[in-house]
């Protein structure tokens, strides 16, 4: 079980804590990571792309000309896909792209992502991350103190913290995730993980 420093807001070590091996020291399974990321991205798709088929395009009620003796090709509707302004053949239609992964696969991928981040030295445990008002500049200052000003950072907290979440909302490189919303994609999409001590204790209960 790996042991790491707990840092305060001034980046000073104030103690140590054990990271659960089943979360941070499992073999990295790239296949599971790929499947989890693919599932997450598929579930984000709206699937609202649509085109009008022959039956949906307005007009076309009357046969353009009689069937025979015109010297022209037979035509039953001016909304035919062959005509300008006609319907679209095999165009996209609204659909649901989402699908479910087995819970064990999702959790195994999550543990694999956390282990990959820890092995790369990209996990920081902080004692607390409360800010007294929802000011972006306060969070920017705090992250710069940790040398994370230019990094994509995922802050992991145990429960809802309005001030912190509102302060991070204007920062394109910073995301805040509660334990219940943590996913493999967010972990891999950010360079550094900033985990509060309380969040880590909660992770032991939920994911380990």
Confidence of residue 47 (pLDDT cuts 50, 70, 90): very high
Lowest mean pLDDT among 1-5, 55-59, 146-150, 175-179: 1-5
| Mean pLDDT, all residues of the chain | 90
pLDDT band at 6 (very low <50, low <70, confident <90, very high): confident
Q: What is the mean pLDDT of residues 81-86?
A: 92
Q: What whole-number percentage of the chain has pLDDT above 90?
A: 59
Average pLDDT over residues 20-28: 90
Distances in Å between the Cα of 88 and the Cα atoms of 49, 64, 78, 81 are 13, 19, 13, 6
Tell me the per-residue pLDDT of 115-126, one tens digit each, with 9 for 90 and over: 999 999 999 999
Coil, helix or strand for 166? helix
pLDDT tier, 20 (very low <50, low <70, confident <90, very high otherwise): confident
Pairing of strands 3-7, 13-18: antiparallel
Residues in the chain: 208
Mean pLDDT across 1-26? 84
User: What is the mean predicted confidence (pLDDT) over 134-158?
Assistant: 88
Does domain 21-27+101-206 match CATH 3.40.50.300? no
| pLDDT exceeds cutoff 90 at 203 | no
For residue 113, name the pLDDT band (cuts at 50, 70, 90): very high
Report the pLDDT averaged over residues 68-76.
Answer: 93
Distance of alpha carbon 113 from alpha carbon 186, whole angstroms:
10
Q: Please give the Cα distance from 143 to 155 (Å, whole number).
A: 10
Model confidence at 202, pLDDT cuts 50, 70, 90, reads confident
Give the pLDDT of residue 148.
Answer: 85
* 139, 171 contact by CB (below 8 A): yes
Mean pLDDT score, 28-51: 95
Q: Where are the beta strands (DSSP E) in the chain?
A: 3-7, 13-18, 123-126, 153-157, 174-178, 192-196
**Would you call 92 helix, strand, or coil by DSSP?**
coil
Q: Cα 33 from chain centroid?
A: 13
pLDDT for position 208:
61
Stated pTM of the model = 0.83
Place of tokens 């819970």: 103
């Amino acid at each position: 079980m790996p042991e790491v420093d707990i840092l305060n807001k001034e980046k000073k070590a104030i103690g140590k804590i054990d990271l659960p091996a089943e979360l941070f020291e499992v073999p990295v399974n790239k296949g599971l990571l790929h499947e989890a990321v693919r599932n997450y991205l598929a579930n984000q798709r709206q699937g609202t792309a649509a085109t009008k088929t022959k039956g949906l395009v307005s007009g076309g009620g009357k046969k353009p000309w009689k069937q025979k003796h015109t010297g022209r090709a037979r035509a039953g509707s001016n909304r035919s896909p062959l005509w300008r302004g006609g319907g679209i053949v095999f165009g996209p239609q609204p659909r649901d792209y989402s699908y479910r992964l087995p819970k064990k696969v999702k959790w195994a991928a999550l543990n694999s992502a956390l282990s990959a981040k820890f092995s790369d030295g990209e996990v920081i445990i902080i004692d607390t991350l409360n800010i007294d008002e929802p000011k972006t500049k306060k969070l920017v200052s705090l992250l710069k103190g940790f040398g994370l000003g230019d990094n994509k950072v995922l802050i992991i907290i145990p429960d809802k913290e309005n001030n912190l979440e509102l302060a991070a909302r204007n920062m394109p490189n910073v995301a805040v995730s509660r334990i219940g919303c943590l996913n493999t994609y967010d972990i891999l999409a950010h360079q550094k993980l900033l985990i509060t001590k309380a969040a880590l204790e909660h992770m032991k209960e939920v994911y380990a």
